[in-house]
Structure 1
Amino acid sequence: MKRSYGIVLFHILFYCASSLFSLFQNNSFAVEPEKYIWPIEIDGYITGNFGECRWDHFHAGLDIGTDGINGYKLFAIADGYVYRVRASATGYGKALYLKLNDGRHVVYAHMNDFSDDIKRYITAEQKKQGKYEINLYPSEDMFPVKQGDVIGYSGNSGDVAPHLHIELRDENEAPLNILTHGLKLKKTDTTAPALRNLAVKPFTPYSMVDQHFEQMIYPAEKVNDSTYRISAPIETWGQVGLKVDAFDTERNGQYILAVHTLKMFVDDRLLYTISMDSFSYGDEYHNNFFMYDRELKYTIADPLKGEYMRLFSLPGIALPMTSQAPGSGFLFCGAEEMRGEINFLTAGDHAVRIEATDANGNTSKLICTLRVSYPDIMSKAYTVARPATASALVLEPYITFYESFFTVTVRTSESPAEMPSVKINASDSTLPVLSTLVHSNNHFEYIFEPVTGKQCDYVMSVSARAADESVVKHESVFSVASIGTQGGTFVSADGEFSLSVKSNNRGFIPYVEVADIDKSAMKLPVLSTIYQFNPRGYELSSPAEITVKLNQPVPKNSVFAVFEWMGDYWRLLSTTPSPDNITATARIGHLSTFAVLADSEPPRIEFVTPSQKMPFVKMGTTVVCRVMDDGVGLSYTKLMMMVDNSSVPAEYRYTNNEFV
């Protein structure tokens, strides 16, 4: 029976979850001649490009911004046919997949709509299945396309900002850099990449950079539009690796983009190359932070924060986008025990040149000098003319952890008669002192490596002799875990935080600190201590498991889970609490800041059409409501709309939280 007006019962059902890159062996890279047309009716501007570092993956396509406007025509870049059509509230949103006559595939993502014939096809299937989320594979002869055909319209489905994400893939679905494989920018790009900062990291207990065990960062001076330099020589010793803050920009400089190629030369010898040409959708896709440095991208303070790319390969993670001389990009500076290494640098000055090139061939360079010299601090002897008396001598020891070793720093109130003695005993052994550094007559540093592969308690005994031959002593107990390549476990001193690693490509020392985060401004109740897990930003070669113990009662009618602090918001990791509400567990791929948070508030629903003011609507009116959540977030794929107890397709739109 037809009705022009009526009262319709609406139910919103929802659930809340409260090749990598090609190898380059010479100084040039191959770019395919232009064979594809521009995919959108406007010039647009590049907001993201191939190989760019995203939160948990390499960016696989080219993003063309549309100035906040939806609805621009999208064109087939070459002859072919539609082989896949997809609609989703998340990910690529409305997406179209073409197979081209040259064997490659191309993906158009975040579309606002499809061409009329494709729209009729997908709408019919959505109504038939009673849901919006759909993934279809039409036959080869159903939707053939010619180069230049309109296949749909740009939008922001599955995302917030309107733009076209276009992605070129080879016949095996491996993404290709479209700007080096047949597509040219609409407007000429003459801007060379920027090389803003250089980080130099020491890797062993015998390695230092400018007399420090810590990674050091050096801002680069811009000489001209394509040349950057660090004027003062950088003193290095032992095994070190370089990381460069390198990025490209689109023509107005608003967006930070990935460079296409990075090369590291030492004394004019090419030792390492990164080339953003292609990768596969396997582990390589998610291993972006084995190339980019997570800590230097997200957690350090401005202006040193940036897009740092490692010019060396971490052990066991030789990504195929890199090409390097033997030595994996590491530099072995001066130490005799390293003389057999391929990239051994003798004492003296060595010229470093780092070149960055974009997909249009614009090139810039950063030049600096590594000065290989034995650190004075390692050879400095301790002498004192007037040692302190026992009554005036106070010992202040403290421990500093690095990735694979730790140091004991001893400060004294006055100068002792001789260097203090530091002994560290485990249950069945005494740790040897690897090296001793004399910073001053009342500042000393001792280097140790822990017992590998286990966590144990150590007894530290520090003593110093005064002028009258009396001895001042300090004794304490501390715990250190050393995770080896075979894995291991770590438990915090308070017993409320644990880490379990099954295997890893390199050893490290985990430790935790209580994070300095203001809980009062948080929307969700915090049920545990907030732990900063160190070494901060450390990448694990395989997922590990953390367990966090609750120290607050669980609010009534709430769920709780492990979250990661992202600097200005909490990111949900897991919703697998223990049955007894004592702990929560999550899988992690890197070390960061973690806590258990609770969510007791259900999502909110606000009807826009129909509404309380206008409950009667015409037949054919689009039903619109807003669905929002301040807690762990919505499970977008489980949102459901029902009309008169029948499921109907409805799309969730991020921009204004609308369910339509």
Structure 2
Amino acid sequence: MIKWTLLLAVALWLPASAEEGGLIWPLSLAPALTSTFGESRSRAFHAGIDLKTWGETGHPVQALADGYIWRVRTSPWGYGRALYQKLADGRMVVYAHLEDFAAPMAELVQQAQQQRGRYSVDLYFKEGEIPVLGGAVIAWSGESGAGPPHLHLELRDENNVAVNLLLHGFSIADTIAPTLQRVAITPHGRNAQVEGGHDPYVLNLRWQPSRGEFIGVRPVQVLGPVSISALMYDRADAAPNKLAPYRVELHIDGELIFAARYEQVRYGDMHQMYLDRPLAAFKGGIGRFYNLCRLPGNRLEFYEGPSDGILNLAKGRHEVVVVVADVNGNENRARFGLMVAEPPVIAGARIAAAANGTFIEARMTDADDRLVEVELASSRDGENWRRVDRRQSRSGPLKWQIHRNASYWRIQARDPAGATAFAICRLPEPAVPTFALERRPHADFVELVMRYEQVPSATPLVRIDTVNISPRQTGLREFRVAVPLDPSDPTGGSVLLRTPGAAVQRVVLDQQFVKPGAAAKLTYANGAVELGFAAASAYAPFFPQVETFEPQVSAALVAVGSAFALGPDVSFDRKVELRLRYDRETLPPEKLGIYREVAAEKWSLVSNEWDAVGRQMVARVRRLGRYALLADLEAPEISSLQPAEGSFVGSRPEIRGAVRDQGAGIGRETDIEFELDGSLLIAEYDPEAGRVYGHLLEDLSPGMHRLVLRVRDMSGNQAEMYSEFTVR
């Protein structure tokens, strides 16, 4: 009743900004942000702004404007305790991660929790039931749900579309321009290359004070369709937190090609974050880069400009400028070059002995240059090189006589644009050359990577159907080749790898095809894996590839067979049904689940839905990746039960316990029970802290009491801990 009186008292005071139709800053703290609209989260965009509470909870939260409480929700996950307020103009405000609600919401939530016997409730109200004036205290800031202490604030328009609050009445002191850290250049398709490869190439940027901009230290070699993405962040004056920028533009040779403004996003499109923010690895880390292109199937409403941002540039040098700005207009830019040229190719390199000596030979071609600089170098250790010869050469055969004082010999070609190719051979040895093979699936091809234990005496040969291909060398012992996939040849996909002195190795690639608008049900690994695609699943055509491997798991989990690497790394509009077969009788199905590898030896449960008829575990996934059928046989751990065994306490003690599960995890409220003297309490679970709190609504009588905490994980393994304590 005290809080309800406070609500009425504060509601009588109406700040000038509310009278003028603006939005009121909800905290008494000076405005500072920890996150802004449109930032990347693990599976979606950040739909609001996060107000900094400097590690504290319990700050009064005021209503942004006049309206009424439309919804009140409590949950251990996500937004935690949250209020949804309908404003008088039809817009919606969400206040999340709250510590407590003001009256009458607090009492209504408590009543609903007691009636339903659980902490999570979701209550809806009609206009007029709980009216609120702008400036009224409606809650207190907290850290419920996900994240540390802060206030998540979200504004939705009359169509329930999340909009950028910083464009709708809020302003933050900000005189700091955004920072551009890196750009990634990504090739699209088998015939596209960046720096001679098929993976995204990350270019580090550095600040150039004399020019007042970030620059790339050298031009990047590209061929075919490519796109640009940027790793960047903003900061504001009041706090050091990294924030999302508001606007970004891509200019090529002085012309605007593509732009994005992060102003609004529909909730049904939140998962398309994967299309806008691809992950790219770089030396020392990995990050989500902002795409400066619109990929197929992308419905997001961020984008502007005359094109989709996929670049297919003419031969020669091109200047790229990326401009980034925040809401306050602070702006920065990065400038770098793209050099479009066909790189030279060195094929068939080998060292061969003849009656008149030892020779190294190869064939060099360059599709768009008449003359190419060619260099021969030798090395004793494969690291320190000594130039033996340098010449200008036309496309055709190359041959040098070499001595045997150096074990390693390198042929390198460089065209006038700076694009290079090389081949390294070692003098023949009696040992049989062996290599490890990695498959890197892409949409319409698979790149095979061969890593040798020692440098071979000749470039390996790859035979695809009836065509021989010489792979490109990418390291002292590494070779790569792109194998095309063809939907018109479902029986193809057989590749032969030949290394001089070693047995031929056969690789079979899957030619099953998925395309937008067509449902498909595909099986792999002799029926162990099944993928079910809806017609609306795929954004673009691709060939799924499945490769088995042995999973490395923690002590809390048991692998029940091989794991499966599903590629390429694509996401889906409609989730894909993944089925893994389990036809043994060793373990009960309720202990099993489909897990996804989220880090080295770290697995996260995706689903434990069991299809008894097909004897398959079933999951619905948004992305391909590394999945395994694992079993959790270990019960959760319970500790620090309070009041402790044998303790003497007051009449209203804190009821809590610490819980941990390193296997399937704790994912249902019904699996947590706090029992006091035979009666169940409302149990509030904090998954991030690993704690459970029991709601005690009245004083306990003097004497002895018995407290029991029971916890089950998602595989049904149960732990129990009890204590007996005395109330004085």
Length-normalised TM-score, structure 2:
0.71
1:574 to 607, 612, 622: 607
Deviation for aligned residue 1:656:
5.0
What SS does structure 1 have at the residue aligned with 2:27? coil
Q: Deviations over 1:288-309 (max 9, x none)?
A: 1110013x2xxx3653522311
Kindly indicate whether the alpha-carbon contact (under 8 Å) linking 1:87 and 1:93 is maintained by their aligned counterparts in 2: yes
What SS does structure 2 have at the residue aligned with 1:85? strand
Deviation for aligned residue 1:367:
0.9
Deviation for aligned residue 1:513:
5.0
5 Å-filtered alignment, 1:501-650, equals 501-503=533-535, 504-512=538-546, 518-519=552-553, 521-535=554-568, 537-549=569-581, 554=586, 559-567=591-599, 569-579=602-612, 583-604=616-637, 608-614=641-647, 618=651, 623-638=655-670, 639-641=672-674, 648-650=681-683
Aligned match of 2:245: 259
Deviation for aligned residue 1:220:
0.9
Q: Does 2:280 match 1:312?
A: no
Rounded to whole Å, the distance in 2 between the matches of 1:652 and 1:362 is 43
Q: Does 2:39 match 1:52?
A: yes
Deviation for aligned residue 1:456:
4.1
Pick the structure with more strand per residue.
2
Instruction: Give the structure with higher Rg (CA).
Output: 2
Aligned match of 2:8: none
Rounded to whole Å, the distance in 1 between the matches of 2:133 and 2:244 is 32
What SS does structure 2 have at the residue aligned with 1:196? strand
Aligned match of 2:397: 383
1:360 to 325, 328, 341: 328
What SS does structure 2 have at the residue aligned with 1:249? coil
5 Å-filtered alignment, 1:288-367, equals 288-294=273-279, 296=280, 300=281, 302-326=283-307, 328-332=308-312, 345-367=313-335
Kindly indicate whether the alpha-carbon contact (under 8 Å) linking 2:591 and 2:631 is maintained by their aligned counterparts in 1: yes
Aligned match of 2:88: 101
Aligned match of 1:449: 484
Deviation for aligned residue 1:461:
5.3
Kindly indicate whether the alpha-carbon contact (under 8 Å) linking 1:106 and 1:168 is maintained by their aligned counterparts in 2: yes
Q: What is the alpha-carbon root mean square deviation over aligned residues?
A: 4.0
Would the alpha carbon gap of residues 516 and 364 (structure 1) be closer, same or farther in structure 2, given more than 3 Å must change?
A: farther
Rounded to whole Å, the distance in 1 between the matches of 2:493 and 2:325 is 51
What SS does structure 2 have at the residue aligned with 1:51? coil
Q: Does 2:671 match 1:657?
A: no
Rounded to whole Å, the distance in 2 between the matches of 1:517 and 1:605 is 28
2:105 to 105, 118, 123: 118
Would the alpha carbon gap of residues 346 and 384 (structure 1) be closer, same or farther in structure 2, given more than 3 Å must change?
A: closer
Rounded to whole Å, the distance in 1 between the matches of 2:291 and 2:174 is 26
What SS does structure 1 have at the residue aligned with 2:270? helix
Rounded to whole Å, the distance in 1 between the matches of 2:560 and 2:282 is 28
Deviation for aligned residue 1:68:
2.3
Deviation for aligned residue 1:65:
2.7
Q: Does 2:506 match 1:476?
A: yes
Aligned match of 1:212: 197
What SS does structure 1 have at the residue aligned with 2:114? helix
Q: Does 2:161 match 1:174?
A: yes
Aligned match of 1:17: none
Rounded to whole Å, the distance in 2 between the matches of 1:614 and 1:373 is 78
Q: Is there any run of 5+ residues in structure 2 with no aligned partner, and where?
A: 1-19, 347-364, 367-394, 402-424, 695-728
What is the one-letter code of the residue matched to 1:383?
A: P
Would the alpha carbon gap of residues 137 and 400 (structure 1) be closer, same or farther in structure 2, given more than 3 Å must change?
A: closer
Rounded to whole Å, the distance in 1 between the matches of 2:433 and 2:647 is 78
2:464 to 424, 443, 448: 424
Aligned match of 2:184: 199
Rounded to whole Å, the distance in 2 between the matches of 1:62 and 1:206 is 42
What SS does structure 2 have at the residue aligned with 1:64? strand
Rounded to whole Å, the distance in 2 between the matches of 1:615 and 1:439 is 74
% identity of equivalent residues: 26
Would the alpha carbon gap of residues 499 and 302 (structure 1) be closer, same or farther in structure 2, given more than 3 Å must change?
A: farther
Kindly indicate whether the alpha-carbon contact (under 8 Å) linking 2:548 and 2:565 is maintained by their aligned counterparts in 1: yes
What is the one-letter code of the residue matched to 2:99?
A: N
Q: Deviations over 1:255-279 (max 9, x none)?
A: 3322211111112222212211111
Q: Does 2:271 match 1:286?
A: yes
Rounded to whole Å, the distance in 1 between the matches of 2:597 and 2:478 is 36
2:71 to 68, 84, 93: 84
What SS does structure 2 have at the residue aligned with 1:288? helix
Rounded to whole Å, the distance in 1 between the matches of 2:127 and 2:220 is 61
Q: Deviations over 1:420-478 (max 9, x none)?
A: 975433xxxx6x67x877769x99976542231786464445789x9xxxx99946352
Deviation for aligned residue 1:551:
9.8
Would the alpha carbon gap of residues 372 and 630 (structure 1) be closer, same or farther in structure 2, given more than 3 Å must change?
A: closer
Rounded to whole Å, the distance in 2 between the matches of 1:394 and 1:386 is 25
Would the alpha carbon gap of residues 38 and 606 (structure 1) be closer, same or farther in structure 2, given more than 3 Å must change?
A: same
Would the alpha carbon gap of residues 531 and 443 (structure 1) be closer, same or farther in structure 2, given more than 3 Å must change?
A: closer
Q: Is there any run of 5+ residues in structure 1 with no aligned partner, and where?
A: 1-32, 333-344
Aligned match of 2:340: 372
Rounded to whole Å, the distance in 1 between the matches of 2:260 and 2:458 is 51
Deviation for aligned residue 1:62:
0.9
Q: Which deviates more from structure 2 when the two are superposed, residues 595-604 or residues 495-504?
A: 495-504
Rounded to whole Å, the distance in 2 between the matches of 1:255 and 1:515 is 40
Kindly indicate whether the alpha-carbon contact (under 8 Å) linking 2:260 and 2:303 is maintained by their aligned counterparts in 1: yes
Kindly indicate whether the alpha-carbon contact (under 8 Å) linking 2:532 and 2:576 is maintained by their aligned counterparts in 1: yes
Rounded to whole Å, the distance in 1 between the matches of 2:584 and 2:555 is 15
What SS does structure 1 have at the residue aligned with 2:234? strand
Rounded to whole Å, the distance in 2 between the matches of 1:206 and 1:557 is 46
What SS does structure 2 have at the residue aligned with 1:612? coil
What SS does structure 1 have at the residue aligned with 2:558? coil
Would the alpha carbon gap of residues 49 and 383 (structure 1) be closer, same or farther in structure 2, given more than 3 Å must change?
A: same
Would the alpha carbon gap of residues 455 and 68 (structure 1) be closer, same or farther in structure 2, given more than 3 Å must change?
A: farther
Rounded to whole Å, the distance in 2 between the matches of 1:383 and 1:487 is 50
Q: Does 2:45 match 1:65?
A: no
Rounded to whole Å, the distance in 2 between the matches of 1:395 and 1:118 is 73
Rounded to whole Å, the distance in 2 between the matches of 1:127 and 1:391 is 79
Would the alpha carbon gap of residues 571 and 400 (structure 1) be closer, same or farther in structure 2, given more than 3 Å must change?
A: closer
What is the one-letter code of the residue matched to 1:70?
A: T
Rounded to whole Å, the distance in 1 between the matches of 2:340 and 2:67 is 58
Would the alpha carbon gap of residues 123 and 487 (structure 1) be closer, same or farther in structure 2, given more than 3 Å must change?
A: closer
Kindly indicate whether the alpha-carbon contact (under 8 Å) linking 1:110 and 1:157 is maintained by their aligned counterparts in 2: yes
Rounded to whole Å, the distance in 2 between the matches of 1:421 and 1:87 is 62
Would the alpha carbon gap of residues 150 and 401 (structure 1) be closer, same or farther in structure 2, given more than 3 Å must change?
A: closer
Q: Does 2:224 match 1:238?
A: yes
Q: Deviations over 1:563-603 (max 9, x none)?
A: 11222642211102453896533222112222222222344
Kindly indicate whether the alpha-carbon contact (under 8 Å) linking 2:277 and 2:288 is maintained by their aligned counterparts in 1: yes
Would the alpha carbon gap of residues 367 and 82 (structure 1) be closer, same or farther in structure 2, given more than 3 Å must change?
A: same
Deviation for aligned residue 1:635:
2.9
Rounded to whole Å, the distance in 2 between the matches of 1:462 and 1:137 is 65
Deviation for aligned residue 1:651:
2.6
Would the alpha carbon gap of residues 616 and 385 (structure 1) be closer, same or farther in structure 2, given more than 3 Å must change?
A: closer
Aligned match of 1:20: none
Rounded to whole Å, the distance in 2 between the matches of 1:577 and 1:439 is 46
